[in-house]
Amino acid sequence: MVLWESPRQCSSWTLCEGFCWLLLLPLMLLIIARPVKLAAFPTSLSDCQTPTGWNCSGYDDRENDLFLCDTNTCKFDGECLRIGDTVTCVCQFKCNNDYVPVCGSNGESYQNECYLRQAACKQQSEILVVSEGSCATDAGSGSGDGGRSFLFIYLKTYMWILLWIFIHIFAIIDI
């Protein structure tokens, strides 16, 4: 009879070992350093209306643009999603798997035009169809990822998001 068995190490944690704790750091910072300063400011101009008229003293667009979800927030057919005080662009395209390759203005080949538009949405930057068929210099997978692995793309994107979060958290709490 075994009374105690040492816990097994999860194989997914061994991939990045101590680095995984770094991935949890933004969540911990958001919990610890909640942006209470924003409570004093209206989140949009419509919040400035009072029973006696309009009062927007102390309203500063620069401190609130992070939390607004308007038509300019997400471009290239992205949907703006506001969860609490954060805004993100969601790019849920239902692309078919037909192989009709196109070459994008960023020099990458895409499986079809839908995947090109999806990449433009995810990057929030314009990518135009330069030509039909694959790009001459690209020997990628055709999915628009340039042949890079999913993990690489995920970590690269996550690091940019971390940087963006840190910049805005420190700006909000005046550190």
Q: What is the pLDDT of residues 3-57, one digit of tens each?
A: 555 454 444 444 455 555 566 666 566 666 554 444 444 555 555 556 555 555 5
Architecture of the domain whose range is 55-172: 2-Layer Sandwich (3.30)
Cα 100 from Cα 121, distance rounded (Å)? 20
Cα 29 from Cα 37, distance rounded (Å)? 15
Indicate the helix (H) or strand (E) that contains 131. Answer: strand 129-132
Which stretch, 52-56, 89-93, 107-111, has highest mean pLDDT?
A: 107-111
Cα 64 from Cα 35, distance rounded (Å)? 11
Give pLDDT, residue 48: 55
Which residues face 129 on adjacent strands?
A: 104
- DSSP annotation of 121: H
Query: What are the boundaries of each domain within the chain?
Result: 55-172
